[in-house]
Amino acid sequence: MTAPIVIIGSGFAANQLVRTVRRMDALIPIQVFTADEGAEYNKPDLSHVFSKKQTAQDLVVKTGEDFAKEHNIELFANTLIDSVDTQAQQVMANGRPHAYSKLVFATGAKAFVPPMLGNAVEQVITLNSLQEYQVAEAKISRAKRVSVIGGGLIGVEIAMDLASSGKVVTVVEPNHRLLANLIPEFVVLPLEKQLEQQGVQLALGNDVAEVNHSGNAFAITLSRDQVVETDVVISAAGLRANTKLAMKSGIKVDKGIMVDARLQTSVANVYALGDCAEIQGRMRPYLQPIVLGANVLGKQLLGQEAQLVLPPMMVKVKTPSYPIQLAGCFDTAVHWDAQISPTGIIAKATDEDHQFVGFVVAGKQVDQAFPLLRELTTSVMSLRNSTGITRIIQ
């Protein structure tokens, strides 16, 4: 009997892959091993659980058992894979070997907690999974004051949502502006103003040096010696791909598990998808690359050839009082053509060859995002067709 396809993980990447394979083949054996319960949920919903007063349980779309039954897979819930023998094509769980024909790492990533001193560092919360929210929800719900470490995409979304739910929020960000790695300053200034109007304190150009207990609460000491009293500290300072298991199995890793355009790792019959994967040198911790990647990988697993070609993809900053959407790559942008009004912004970036390379829309102008995405896609595709250059566009 042929060994099954084995998937490690039960997040969006694993579930999307299962759905894709099952659309093409109803019967091929699939085993899913996951360190958690295997419940299906929409992780981006974690950005607005506070204002919606949702518990972790409210976010569950389907139990692991139901998902497994519906898709005819064998689920090993609460089962950590300890090691992989890529020669014998086996994974080890609870001391027992399980053979695979093809193996997929869909092990996701961990939220990063920047190095800091103090006697309460262990109390810093992260919110990169349903389980982390479940552990923290009562503490956050009781808290009046919340400090968020990190003013990137997830940090600003969580900060605005906490403020909307009535908390007093402080955002600590080492850069001198929010979303510094994502969008230009002129787009982010109105967002900063909006957050301040909602009572969010922005401690920009600051790191957290120490977190200490202070009575029933915490005192965080910032690098500029300011001390903030807070009831909860949340770290939203970026992700680190879960690569340890792959690394100790002899699979090449860098920032993530390195894969090519077929989602194949450095080892035969082993693949990676989702937040754990570094696709052709880039991390892409978003849903759309997972959906497109699952289409390619599903075919590979069933013996068909396919290669991942990523079109320009939209990134949405889910800050409802001042939403922002963007696509493209601004590394090569030399000129911004921007229409700025009190209600919103449309900004298009071009490179030195006057090629349209990306856009940002904000506020009331977000309805321009899809027409601009179409224009950008056409521009990028025509460049690829005429020059053969596959420029990496977000």
Q: Which is nearer to ligand FAD, 44 or 205 (CB)?
A: 44
HSE (CB half, 13 Å, CA atoms) of 157? 21
Q: Which is nearer to ligand FAD, 94 or 119 (CB)?
A: 94
Residues 6+ apart with CB under 8 A from 388: none
Quick one: tokens of 143? Answer: 């808290």
Among 4, 5, 7, 11, binds ligand FAD (CB under 6 A): 11
Is 224 exposed, middle or buried (CB count within 10 Å of its CB: 0-12, 13-18, 19+)? exposed
Rounded to whole angstroms, the Cα distance separating 147 from 153 reads: 16
- CA of residue 102 relative to chain centroid, distance: 25
Least distance between ligand FAD and beta carbon 79 (Å): 6
Q: If binding is defined by CB under 6 A, does position 316 make contact with ligand FAD?
A: yes
Q: If binding is defined by CB under 6 A, does position 259 make contact with ligand FAD?
A: no
Q: Any idea which residue has 């909307």 for tokens?
A: 164
Q: If binding is defined by CB under 6 A, does position 20 make contact with ligand FAD?
A: no
Least distance between ligand FAD and beta carbon 243 (Å): 10
Strand partners, 272: 105
Q: Any idea which residue has 């690359």 for tokens?
A: 289
Least distance between ligand FAD and beta carbon 3 (Å): 18
Least distance between ligand FAD and beta carbon 327 (Å): 12
Q: Which is nearer to ligand FAD, 329 or 338 (CB)?
A: 329
Q: Which is nearer to ligand FAD, 20 or 107 (CB)?
A: 107
Dihedral sign for Cα 243, 246, 248, 250, please. negative
Q: If binding is defined by CB under 6 A, does position 47 make contact with ligand FAD?
A: yes
Size of the site for ligand FAD (CB under 6 A): 35
Q: Any idea which residue has 């996951």 for tokens?
A: 34
Question: Which residue type occupies 291?
Answer: V
Rounded to whole angstroms, the Cα distance separating 63 from 69 reads: 10
Q: If binding is defined by CB under 6 A, does position 360 make contact with ligand FAD?
A: no
Q: If binding is defined by CB under 6 A, does position 285 make contact with ligand FAD?
A: yes
Q: Which is nearer to ligand FAD, 195 or 222 (CB)?
A: 195
HSE (CB half, 13 Å, CA atoms) of 260? 11
Among 18, 73, 172, 245, binds ligand FAD (CB under 6 A): 245
Region binding ligand FAD by CB under 6 A among candidate stretches 103-111, 185-193, 250-258, 332-340 = 103-111
Going from the C-alpha of 28 to that of each of 18, 22, 31, 158, the distances in angstroms are 11, 8, 10, 41
Q: If binding is defined by CB under 6 A, does position 318 make contact with ligand FAD?
A: yes
Least distance between ligand FAD and beta carbon 47 (Å): 4
The region that residue 76 occupies, defined by phi over 0 for left and psi between -120 and 50 for alpha, beta otherwise, is: beta
Among 286, 330, 356, 359, binds ligand FAD (CB under 6 A): 286
Least distance between ligand FAD and beta carbon 131 (Å): 8
Residues 6+ apart with CB under 8 A from 111: 126, 127, 128, 132, 235, 236, 237, 238, 239
Beta-sheet strand order (sheet of 270-272): 74-76, 30-33, 5-8, 102-105, 270-272
Q: If binding is defined by CB under 6 A, does position 107 make contact with ligand FAD?
A: yes
Q: Which is nearer to ligand FAD, 148 or 372 (CB)?
A: 148
Q: If binding is defined by CB under 6 A, does position 41 make contact with ligand FAD?
A: no
Least distance between ligand FAD and beta carbon 351 (Å): 25
Q: If binding is defined by CB under 6 A, does position 242 make contact with ligand FAD?
A: yes
Q: How many residues does the chain have?
A: 394
Q: If binding is defined by CB under 6 A, does position 235 make contact with ligand FAD?
A: no
Summarize as ranges the residues that interact with ligand FAD (CB under 6 A): 8-14, 33-36, 43-44, 46-47, 80-81, 106-109, 127-129, 154, 242, 245, 274-275, 285-288, 316, 318
